[in-house]
């Protein structure tokens, strides 16, 4: 895998939240283990207190051992969490049906545990798998009814009514799971993005940038940091009001997003200041791209209350390893270069350490 591909993968796949996913998967594994051990414990206790006829107790014990063994094997040999959880829940359902067959079939005291399995499926695996599991649960329940009643076909309507709660439980669980997942995604997005511009906030930028720094050290490749600052925010605020200044910040973010690659990482640094990391390029290579941003801002005034307002940007560029041996040093040099652009008349690009007066 090339450095650029690896860096782009982090941006597109949002690799910085993998730790949170891992924590949720760990919690879900605990839930499945708890359900399995409680179910096995209750089944064995029930068979001890109320001995089953014939070889029922022996078969139930063998089923319990087979379940524990199967769950152990899935944890040892399956790495994909979705596949592992799906198989575990299916095994729990098969085990439950086998136990119910020997403890009263459709009248078994363990039949309500189906609701617990369906709810766990909805919380862990989402809507589609929940509906599939609900269909499997209904089929298993009809199997138990057929085994318990010779007049199964004669009372098909009554039996259908008895499985409606399974379908309702699956549907409600899937809806609640979808709402919870949507809320979690919104919270996650808000924690990683700037709510005004939609760009990364500095928390997510720093995480991604530090990852890129590690990649650059490993492969010996450069990266460049560009600092950009709106030149006339104060004047716009004084003349048009702070709402116009807010629109300027939003417009600047749009200009930046329209002129960078998907693999580049842009963030709002603070106020009207922005930062962009260009992966696998040094300062001279990305200078034309930054100049495009500056020109686009100069050539495209933004509209506020029916009036077009002109605005410009000052930019500074520094790169690793030419301008610093770590991310912090490179950012500092890019910031100094940006302020050099302001001192030299604004609306231009300056390179760190070059002493160049005007690149705009």
**What gap in Å lies between CA 145 and CA 156, rounded to an integer?**
10
Domains of the chain: 3-192 (no CATH), 202-351 (3.30.70.270)
> In the block, which residue shows the tokens 């495209």?
300
* Per-residue model confidence as pLDDT tens digits over 168-201: 777 777 777 667 666 666 666 666 788 889 899 9
The reported pLDDT for the residue numbered 159 is: 63
Mean pLDDT, residues 155-169 taken together: 71
Beta bridge partners of 230: 313
* CA neighbor of 117 nearest in space, from 234, 198, 36: 36
- What pLDDT score was predicted for residue 189? 60
Taking only the tens place, the pLDDT of each residue in 16-31 is 344 556 666 677 788 8
Q: Which of 97, 89, 95, 114 is nearest to 29 (CA)?
A: 89
Query: Model pTM?
Result: 0.56
Q: Which of 231, 342, 341, 293 is nearest to 350 (CA)?
A: 341
178: three-class secondary structure by DSSP? helix
Residue 34 scores a pLDDT above 60:
yes
Strand locations in the chain (E): 223-230, 265-270, 273-279, 302-304, 307-309, 313-320, 349-351
Strand blocks (E) in 160-231? 223-230
54 three-class SS: coil
> According to the model, what pLDDT value does residue 15 have?
40
Question: Can you give the C-alpha Rg of the chain in angstroms?
Answer: 31
């Amino acid at each position: 895998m090339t450095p650029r591909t690896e860096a782009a993968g982090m941006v597109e796949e949002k690799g910085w939240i993998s730790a949170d996913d891992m924590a949720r998967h760990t919690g879900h594994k605990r839930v499945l283990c708890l359900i399995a051990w409680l179910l096995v414990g209750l089944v064995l206790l029930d068979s001890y207190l109320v001995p089953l006829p014939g070889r029922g107790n022996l078969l139930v014990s063998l089923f319990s051992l087979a379940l524990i063994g199967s769950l152990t094997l899935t944890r040892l040999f399956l790495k994909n969490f979705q596949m592992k959880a799906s198989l575990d829940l299916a095994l729990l359902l098969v085990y439950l049906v086998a136990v119910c067959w020997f403890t009263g079939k459709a009248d078994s005291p363990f039949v309500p545990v189906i609701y617990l399995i369906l709810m766990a499926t909805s919380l862990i695996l989402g809507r589609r798998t929940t509906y599939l599991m609900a269909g499997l649960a209904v089929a298993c329940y009809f199997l138990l009814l057929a085994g318990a009643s010779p007049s199964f076909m004669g009372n098909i309507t009554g039996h259908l009514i008895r499985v409606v709660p399974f379908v309702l439980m699956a549907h409600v669980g899937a809806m609640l799971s979808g709402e919870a997942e949507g809320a979690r995604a919104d919270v996650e997005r808000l924690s990683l993005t700037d709510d005004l511009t939609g760009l990364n906030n500095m928390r997510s930028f720093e995480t991604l940038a530090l990852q890129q720094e590690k990649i650059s050290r490993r492969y010996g490749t450069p990266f460049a940091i560009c600092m950009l600052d709106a030149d006339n925010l104060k004047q716009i605020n004084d003349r048009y009001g702070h709402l116009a200044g807010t629109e300027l910040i939003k417009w600047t973010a749009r200009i930046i997003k329209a002129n960078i690659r998907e693999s580049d990482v842009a963030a709002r640094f603070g106020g009207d200041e922005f930062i962009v990391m260009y992966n696998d390029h040094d300062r001279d290579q990305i200078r034309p791209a930054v100049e495009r941003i500056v020109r686009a801002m100069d050539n495209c005034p933004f509209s506020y209350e029916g009036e077009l307002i002109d605005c410009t940007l000052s930019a500074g560029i520094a790169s690793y390893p030419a301008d610093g041996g770590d991310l912090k040093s490179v950012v500092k040099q890019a910031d100094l270069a940006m302020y050099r652009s302001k001192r030299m008349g604004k609306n231009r690009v300056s390179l760190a350490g070059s002493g160049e007066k005007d690149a705009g």
